[in-house]
Amino acid sequence: MTQDLRINVIDHPLVQHKMTLLREKDTSTASFRRLIREVSLLLCYEVTRDLPLTTRKIQTPVAPMEAPILDGKKLCFVSILRAGNGLLDGMLDLMPSARVGHVGLYRDPDTLKPVEYYYKVPGDIADRLVIVVDPMLATANSATAAVQRLKDGGAKRIRFLSLLAAPEGIRTFNAAHPDVDLFTGALDSHLNEHGYIVPGLGDAGDRIFGTK
Ligand code: PRP
Ligand code: URA
């Protein structure tokens, strides 16, 4: 039963294709890194689809025109360390002037509870649309804690973007942060007894950084 889940699944064929390559266990570290960067470009495209536009008077080689342009640069990407940095790189390729924050969390393997070790965000975070990125929304303990930390730090408008999400985590997150829209590249089946997403792609941080 997944009808109750509030999440935007970005199921563009290119996302699905690249996600399959990411999931394969024999994909090399170099390919995994390249693919996650490519997918994050596509996901960024969707998560920013409704950004407000204004116009600017320009001159084309043929005629003057009132041309559309993004209204202001009040955006901040927040990466949940360390795997979030895999998504962040592609997002910055697309929007190089975005501000960036970092929340350092790791999931204790026994309790599955997040442990914070770093927090640094722009001082004017309250004025920015914040897009939090982390490839995996599993139990959502990490995502829920990171978003709460950002709210405590003043953030008011927040979206959360993952590569993969599990129904259990989506329910937890929706209940904790009903005001935060979720976006993901794929909705997977369930969590296993170790809190890993099934079928998933394994440990995202280890696969991005080649640490296992
Ligand atoms: C992974 C992932 C998320 C978290 C998701 O990070 O990048 O942050 O687990 O799990 P949850 O939804 O059950 O909290 P991990 O703790 O492995 O740290 P890392 O990014 O440093 O590898
Ligand atoms: N963290 C990961 O990296 N992968 C999972 O499947 C769950 C949490």
Architecture per CATH, domain 8-49+74-209, reads as: 3-Layer(aba) Sandwich (3.40)
Look at residue 54 and tell me whether its pLDDT is greater than 70.
yes
pTM of the model: 0.95
Residue located nearest, by CA, to atom 2 of ligand 2: 203
132 Cβ neighbours under 8 A, 6+ residues apart: 77, 78, 79, 80, 84, 103, 143, 146, 147, 150, 158, 159, 160, 161
Pick the ligand that lies closest to the CA of residue 84.
1
188 is catalytic: no
Q: Span 122-136, mean pLDDT? A: 97
Using CA atoms, how far residue 182 sits from 2, 53, 134, 156, 204, in Å, is 14, 22, 11, 15, 19
Give tens-digit pLDDT for 83-105.
999 999 999 999 999 999 999 99
d(CA 76, CA 128): 6
pLDDT grade, residue 73 (50/70/90)?
Answer: low
Tell me how far the alpha carbon of residue 110 lies from the centroid of ligand 2, in angstroms. Answer: 14
Look at residue 9 and tell me whether its pLDDT is greater than 70.
yes
CB 205 within 8 A of CB 83: yes
Strand partners, 1: none
pLDDT at 113: 87
Pocket of ligand 2 (CB under 6 A): 136, 138, 195-197, 200, 203-205
Q: Span 128-143, mean pLDDT? A: 97
pLDDT grade, residue 107 (50/70/90)?
Answer: confident
Q: Percentage of residues in the chain with pLDDT exceeding 70?
A: 99
